[in-house]
Amino acid sequence: MDNQPVHPAAATLDALLPQEMARRAEEIGVKKANLDALSMFVLAILAGAFIAQGALFATTVWTDTLGKIPWGLGRVVGGLAFTLGLVLVVVGGAELFTGNNLLIMAWASRKVTTAKVLRNWVIVYFGNLIGSLGTALIVVLSERFVFMAGGSIGLTALNIATSKVHLGFIQAVMLGTLCNGLVCLAVWMTYSARTTVDRIAAIILPISAFVAAGFEHSIANMYFIPVALFVKARAPEVFWQSVGKTAADYADLTWSSFVFKNLIPVTLGNIIGGAVLVGAVYWVVYLRKQPR
């Protein structure tokens, strides 16, 4: 009985092991790098919108909860809500800059050129920006967002964004590095998956962890900070009266502070964490040519 053959369908349910995951990362990297520009750009817009939806979900969950339940639990619940974004990206299919830092593995194996990696990163980054900004604008134009919970959700958005533009440059780089290490580990683990449920399960803990710990994700911040800037610019006087604040209380929240105090250093950190600390490390372990 012990010599009975394993049914082929059953064998395919086994998760891939790390060495097989590395080869799959190479294959996926080649496909991503060779996408036509229009498809790449549209899929990047979708990814920006998907991550923005996760950020919106997290903002909603955090509103009026952090002072009423244990602080850590509130952070975890918000982190779980935020996982929606990467689940939509991975399962629905989209191009996310931070996850695409793993293209470095195909590049290191000389299966894609430097030009193609940079082409992917630039197109996807700006596509993500458009998707995130567009979602933020639509949310604020809906007007419901600003006034929900007596204006508390709009206030939460303002406070989240303000904390992000007050980071120091090195601090933002390091928080970005820690963040994308976890994001790329989540994407890396989805390469072992055989089913949709596997992919979702692989995403939940790393993404919840980075959000709960307060790490910085450049694409999420393309929603978190602009949505607050739109609230600051467009909210009517009745909103400010309901939350006991004025626009002047958020004088440090500007488009220039968004770009220079958060987006640029966090992006640099994301590249270090994803391309170097995950992609390059796994390439060295599993894909470099071993001496004979």
**Measured distance CA(102)–CA(104) in Å, rounded:** 5
Is 5 a member of any domain? no
Q: Quick check: 11 pLDDT over 80? A: no
Segment 204-243, tens digit of pLDDT: 999 999 999 999 999 999 999 999 999 999 999 999 999 9
Q: Quick check: 291 pLDDT over 70? A: no
Q: Quick check: 21 pLDDT over 60? A: yes
Per-residue model confidence (pLDDT) at position 69: 83
Q: Quick check: 10 pLDDT over 60? A: no
Is 12 a member of any domain? no
Q: Quick check: 1 pLDDT over 60? A: no
**Measured distance CA(221)–CA(43) in Å, rounded:** 19
CA 165 to chain centre: 18
DSSP character for 278? Answer: I
Q: Quick check: 57 pLDDT over 70? A: yes
Is 96 a member of any domain? yes
Is 291 a member of any domain? no
**Measured distance CA(256)–CA(31) in Å, rounded:** 36
Is 3 a member of any domain? no
Is 226 a member of any domain? yes
At 267, the pLDDT band (50, 70, 90 cuts) reads: very high
Phi-psi region for residue 99, left (φ > 0), alpha (ψ -120 to 50) or beta? Answer: alpha
Percent of the chain with pLDDT over 70: 93
Per-residue model confidence (pLDDT) at position 67: 63
Q: Which domain holds residue 149?
A: 18-286
Per-residue model confidence (pLDDT) at position 13: 67
At 169, the pLDDT band (50, 70, 90 cuts) reads: very high
Count up the domains in the chain and report the number.
1
Helix axis angle, 264-271 relative to 169-190, nearest 10°?
40
Segment 110-154, tens digit of pLDDT: 999 999 999 999 999 999 999 999 999 999 999 888 788 888 999
Output the average pLDDT for the chain.
93
Is 88 a member of any domain? yes
Is 274 a member of any domain? yes
At 290, the pLDDT band (50, 70, 90 cuts) reads: low
Per-residue model confidence (pLDDT) at position 8: 42
265 close to 176: Cβ distance less than 8 angstroms: yes
Is the whole model's pTM more than 0.95, yes or no?
no
> Which CATH number fits the domain that encloses residue 91?
1.20.1080.10
Segment 68-104, tens digit of pLDDT: 788 889 999 999 999 999 999 999 999 999 999 999 9
SS (H, E, C) 238-276: HHHHHHCCCHHHHCCCCHHHHHHHHHHHHHHHHHHHHHH
